[in-house]
């Protein structure tokens, strides 16, 4: 199996001249970023990571290793303390022309509004004309399997359906990059597997770039084209594992390559967790 350690990643990046043109495939580039929060927490040590167009990258690692911090920096919601994030080579998302949308663990739907109205919210805020927004809402609901539920209210939906609504609300903005922070972490295993299957199919049919934070090795191995393993205190990348199998049907979950990847990542996660300094 091909595997790159953090040392390799840094070594490659150190060789990149400061003004070199970005390669066309890189959509997100964390270039020697470091993050220390205002209270002094050193969340991320200097680290570099490139996400290529069409990647499905999972960030996996023990609690507190900085997965969400990195995701928020990709979303432009947190500034690095050192280094910089580049979006398709530009220093702001706006200049890059790239759009991203974020999905969180909580669906955070407006309880008083229908599913369709919830999904339409970002378009209403952008003042998109109703004829266009209705069409886009219809398409987004169909993409997540909720075509018939536009008139329902959140309280009438299961947890999985509420999360599908939240994903539709992200898709309706037609993002290039979908940033997902443990979106299925609160769901039961069966529902989570269904959503994983549907998300993988959605990714394959749309060519979206996805950055996905999870604690689940099984979920990361099922979904991803690449798993980035992080360790904590301070947060850093310890391995970068490509997963090349293209068949991610239910049979994949029972296949030898799936077990092999899970075993490898489990060993890496244990090693990453061992590095936590409890003093």
Ligand X SMILES: Nc1ncnc2c1ncn2[C@@H]1O[C@H](COP(=O)(O)OP(=O)(O)OP(=O)(O)O)[C@@H](O)[C@H]1O
Q: Which residues bind ligand X (CB under 6 A)?
A: 37, 39, 41, 43, 61, 63-69, 235
Shortest distance in whole angstroms from residue 173 CB to ligand X: 24
Residue in the block written with tokens 């091909």: 2
State the Cα–Cα distance between residues 137 and 120, nearest whole angstrom: 6
Longest dimension (CA), the chain: 59
The smaller minimum CB distance to ligand X, of residues 107 and 116, is found at: 107
Shortest distance in whole angstroms from residue 278 CB to ligand X: 13
Shortest distance in whole angstroms from residue 197 CB to ligand X: 24
The smaller minimum CB distance to ligand X, of residues 160 and 235, is found at: 235
Shortest distance in whole angstroms from residue 222 CB to ligand X: 19
Shortest distance in whole angstroms from residue 38 CB to ligand X: 6
Shortest distance in whole angstroms from residue 112 CB to ligand X: 30
The smaller minimum CB distance to ligand X, of residues 34 and 96, is found at: 34
The smaller minimum CB distance to ligand X, of residues 140 and 217, is found at: 217
Structure-token pair, residue 30: 């964390």
The smaller minimum CB distance to ligand X, of residues 66 and 150, is found at: 66
Shortest distance in whole angstroms from residue 76 CB to ligand X: 15
The smaller minimum CB distance to ligand X, of residues 104 and 149, is found at: 104
- Given a contact cutoff of 8 angstroms between Cβ atoms, the answer to whether 123 and 136 are in contact is yes
The smaller minimum CB distance to ligand X, of residues 65 and 223, is found at: 65
Shortest distance in whole angstroms from residue 78 CB to ligand X: 8
The smaller minimum CB distance to ligand X, of residues 58 and 69, is found at: 69
- Given a contact cutoff of 8 angstroms between Cβ atoms, the answer to whether 115 and 149 are in contact is yes
Residue in the block written with tokens 């209210």: 153
State the Cα–Cα distance between residues 233 and 168, nearest whole angstrom: 35
């Amino acid at each position: 199996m091909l595997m790159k350690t953090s040392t390799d990643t840094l070594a490659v990046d150190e060789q990149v001249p400061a003004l070199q043109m970005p390669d066309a495939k890189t959509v997100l580039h964390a270039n020697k970023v470091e993050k220390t929060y205002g209270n002094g927490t050193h969340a991320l040590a200097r680290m570099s990571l490139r996400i290529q167009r069409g990647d499905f990258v999972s960030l996996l690692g023990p609690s507190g290793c900085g997965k969400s911090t990195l995701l928020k920096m990709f979303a432009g919601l947190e500034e690095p303390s050192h280094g910089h994030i580049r979006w398709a080579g530009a220093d702001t998302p706006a200049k890059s022309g790239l759009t991203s949308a974020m999905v969180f663990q909580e669906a955070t739907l407006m309880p008083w509004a229908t599913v369709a109205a919830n999904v339409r919210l970002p378009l209403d805020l952008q003042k998109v004309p109703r004829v266009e927004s209705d069409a886009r809402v219809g398409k987004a609901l169909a993409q997540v399997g909720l075509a018939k539920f536009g008139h329902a209210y959140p309280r009438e939906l299961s947890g999985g359906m509420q999360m599908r609504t939240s994903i539709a609300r992200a898709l309706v903005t037609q993002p290039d990059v979908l940033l997902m922070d443990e979106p299925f972490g609160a769901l039961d295993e069966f529902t989570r597997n269904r959503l994983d299957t549907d998300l993988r199919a959605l990714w394959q049919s749309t060519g979206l770039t996805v950055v996905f934070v999870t604690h689940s090795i099984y979920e990361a191995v099922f979904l991803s084209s690449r798993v980035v393993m992080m360790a904590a205190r301070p947060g850093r990348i310890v391995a970068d594992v490509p997963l090349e199998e293209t068949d991610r049907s239910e049979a994949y979950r029972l296949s030898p390559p799936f077990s092999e990847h899970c075993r490898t990542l489990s060993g890496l996660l244990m090693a990453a967790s061992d590095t936590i300094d409890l003093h």
